[in-house]
Amino acid sequence: MIINEASLSQTVDALNAAQFDGRTLAAPERTRAARWIAARHGLAGAYAGTFAGYPAEQSKGIVLFTGERITSASARHILGEEASRALRLLRVRDRGVTAALDAADEGLMRCLARAAEDPRHRNPGLFCCGKCSVGLWRNLLGGGLDRREERLQRGASHLRTARDGDGWRPFPFWYTVLALTEMDGTEASRELTFAAPALERAAKRAVPSAVHARRRHALAVRALNRL
pLDDT in tens, 145-165: 999 999 999 999 999 999 999
Residue 112 has pLDDT above 90, yes or no: yes
Bridge partners (DSSP) of residue 69 are: 63
**Residue at 111 is within a domain:** yes
**Residue at 2 is within a domain:** no
In which band, very low, low, confident or very high, does the pLDDT at 122 lie, cut at 50, 70 and 90?
A: confident
Q: What is the domain extent for residue 210?
A: 8-226
Total domain count for the chain? Answer: 1
**Residue at 63 is within a domain:** yes
Q: Are 180 and 152 in contact (CB under 8 A)?
A: no
**Residue at 3 is within a domain:** no
**Residue at 112 is within a domain:** yes
Half-sphere exposure at residue 124, Cβ-oriented, CA atoms within 13 angstroms: 12
**Residue at 200 is within a domain:** yes
Distance from chain centroid for Cα 161: 21
Nearest to 15 by CA among 25, 5, 6: 25
**Residue at 202 is within a domain:** yes
**Residue at 162 is within a domain:** yes
Residue 72 has pLDDT above 90, yes or no: yes
Category of 62 on φ-ψ map: left (φ > 0), alpha (ψ -120 to 50) or beta: beta
pLDDT digits (tens, 9 = 90+) for 17-63: 999 999 999 999 999 999 999 999 999 999 999 999 999 999 999 99
